Amino acid sequence: MSQDNVLLRVDHLVKHFPITKGILVQKQVGAVRAVDDISFDIRRGETLGLVGESGCGKSTTGRTILQLYRPTSGHVYYEGKDLTTLKGSALRPMRAKMQMIFQDPYASLNPRMTVAEIIGEPLVVHKVGGTKEINERVDQLLGQVGLNPAFANRYPHEFSGGQRQRIGVARALALNPDLIVCDEPISALDVSIQAQVVNLLEDLQDQLGLTYLFIAHDLSMVRHISDRVAVMYLGIIVELADRAELYHNPLHPYTQALLSAVPIPDPQAEEKRARIILEGDVPSPANPPSGCRFRTRCPIAQALCAEEKPVWRELRPDHFVACHFAN
Amino acid sequence: MSAQTGVLKAGAGGMPLTMKRESLTADAFRRLIRNRAAVVGGLIVLLLALIAIFAGQIAPKSYEVQVLIDNNKVPAWMVSLFSSMAPYAKTTTDYLLGADYVGRDLFSRLVYGSRVSLSVAFIGPIISLLIGVVYGSISGFFGGRADNLMMRIVDVLYAFPTLLFVILLMAFFRSTFAKPDPGSFAYGLSQLDARMGGMLFIFMGIGFTAWETMARLTRGQVLSVREKEFVEAARTVGAGNGRIMFRHILPNIVGPLVVFESLSIPTYITFEAFLSYIGLGVNPPTPSWGSMIAEGGSVIRTYPNQAVFPALALAITMFAFNFLGDGLRDALDPRLRGTQ
């Protein structure tokens, strides 16, 4: 892996949300460890899939990378520049290069703004051209995501979910970003619309050379779109590998359990599919287990797992895993 | 173009391309004018506003000139309607609704009295919105320690009985600013108050108490909208606090705030009427419906016309504002959007 190919480097990123108590004087009594020391790289032009259960910190990771949440500690380097030290106006030019597509197409568009205003807002904020240039760019963007530019003066509530998500994609593209964080962009859509939006994202990646961090919980969709896949559990990344490697040769017991839950569209193979059923619930991120976080539900856990945190090691070339007993 | 339309049709789930475009405001307005009660209320409010503005032209007589010989005169049409008044009432055709105990035309006083009620109806919400929305927005938007402190202050103020607080305030204003030194700030205030017929202190009394609920409501609304994804999207594109506040949050919370204010207008009118009724409101001889009810109330058995008409005017005004407020609430209700 060549160093100059790395677009974004996440280095020991930590995000804790404080839990406070008290009416007048607020005292911190604990923290939700939403993201607890994760590191990975995103290479230019690739799609990195980030999968995990609800509440495991996937979205927090995406938002912390974009500095929507300021990290508790750790660094995010974009083309070698540390975003976590930038503030206010210094951060603004960097924001143009990293955009986000949101999960809920109904909540992510301001109902009081027209489509043209929504898509044009990044251009207005970054003072790109006058009214005429912005209008032209908005029309061009609408065409690019497959919407009729004649709809520019309508309001979001006049569109369907899939169309709204296209509007969200157009907004994210407005400033010609390099990196787009897709935060479950299709999980709120009908299955028939999901494929359209995913195909749109893939086409745009080919045309514009975009890099995606694709957050999802749908394993087949991640397999379809990703080049590499990272698996998260309770605030940490447990495994990271190439797509083919991860799906054919999962090393972490959690990844194995996740993959065993995916149905196979072949009755005979499906018959033989052995599901690994995990016991119990996900522990609270405010009070995670000692040592290995997965040990409370792990089928192969031993005494060592409660005492020592597993090391993040490269077991095979480009295949990282955090487990004492993976081999 | 045709290829694009094809893509659209596929993704649109059958949405007709000719669908009429309509902003949320236009939709709300359309539903407001379909609500008959709200329209009637709005028309009455409009009529009252016109009466208040053109009071000088409408009122047949002066509201302050006392014609003592005409005191307590009763209009002839009332006596013919209620014959029990005939033995003692001095009838007249000169006064439409009769004259009060010092011989001032009741109808003219009623017309001029609308000025006080309507001023309170419009200035009250403005003060409450100005203070309450600014306070609540700051508290909700910045959150944390500032929010905590600001809301505790509101809690403390809230614990005061409002009516008692206003009475105390009015008593305080009236005595403090009774005989100030010429040229001082207090003198300026009391001059201004005198010129407004005592309304300035009413506005201040209402303003000091009414913003608290507004601040709480605004804070709650800001808190809920602040966490919406479109606000995060705005942050992602690099929008600053000002832009987020004025372009994204405020337009989305205006509805509930307007509804709340329009429904509390009757409260402000009652406040003024009550203050004038107990003698802490407008200065005589400025007419206010509240003070007219108080004066007429003492002779209600013999001359009911002196209290009934101002009370009727007050009731109609309150109904009108309530109907309008109800209509606004329904029109701005997002759950009813797009319905008839």
pLDDT, tens digit, 9 for 90 and up, residues B260-308 = 888 888 888 888 888 888 877 777 788 888 888 888 888 888 888 888 8
The pair of three-digit structure tokens given for residue B338, joined into one six-digit string: 């797009």
| Sheet with A81-82, side-by-side order of all strands | A27-43, A6-21, A73-78, A81-82
Helix, strand counts (H, E) of chain B = 15, 2
- The CATH architecture one would assign to domain B26-336 is Orthogonal Bundle (1.10)
- Percent of chain A having pLDDT more than 90? 45
B124–chain A nearest CA distance, Å: 28
Least confident of A86-90, B21-25, B83-87: B21-25
Looking at residue B99, what DSSP letter applies?
A: B
- Percent of chain B having pLDDT more than 90? 14
Distance, CA of B196 to CA of B204 (rounded, Å):
13
Distance, CA of A152 to CA of A162 (rounded, Å):
16
Distance, CA of B182 to CA of A69 (rounded, Å):
57
Per-residue pLDDT band for B6 (boundaries 50, 70, 90) equals: very low
B1 contacts on A by Cβ (under 8 Å): 148
pLDDT at B17 over 80: no
Distance, CA of B78 to CA of B85 (rounded, Å):
8
A275, with CB counted inside 10 A (0-12, 13-18, 19+), is exposed
Per-residue pLDDT band for B337 (boundaries 50, 70, 90) equals: low
A131–chain B nearest CA distance, Å: 18
Distance, CA of A28 to CA of B306 (rounded, Å):
65
B248 contacts on A by Cβ (under 8 Å): 110
Q: Is A14 helix (H, G, I), strand (E, B) or coil?
A: strand
Contact B111, B49 (CB under 8 A): no
Q: Which tens digits make up the pLDDT trace of A179-188?
A: 999 999 888 8
- The candidate with the shortest Cα–Cα distance to B286, out of B181, B173, B200, is B200
Least confident of A100-104, A254-258, B37-41, B194-198: B194-198
Return the higher-pLDDT residue of B181 and B264.
B264
Which residues, listed in sequence order, are joined to residue A224 by a DSSP beta bridge? none
Least confident of A207-216, B18-27, B314-323: B18-27
Q: What is the pLDDT of residue B334?
A: 64
Q: What's the whole-number mean pLDDT along residues B85-101?
A: 78
Q: State the average pLDDT for chain B.
A: 81
Residue in chain A lying closest to B153 (CA): A24
Nearest by CB to B8, which of A95, A148, A153? A148
Q: What is the pLDDT of residue B19?
A: 46
Per-residue pLDDT band for B44 (boundaries 50, 70, 90) equals: very high
Domain ranges of chain B: 26-336
Which of B9, B230, B248, B258 to mutate against chain A (most A CBs within 10 Å)? B230
Contact B290, B273 (CB under 8 A): yes
Q: What's the whole-number mean pLDDT along residues B225-242?
A: 90
Q: Which tens digits make up the pLDDT trace of A96-118?
A: 899 999 999 889 999 888 899 99
pTM: 0.79
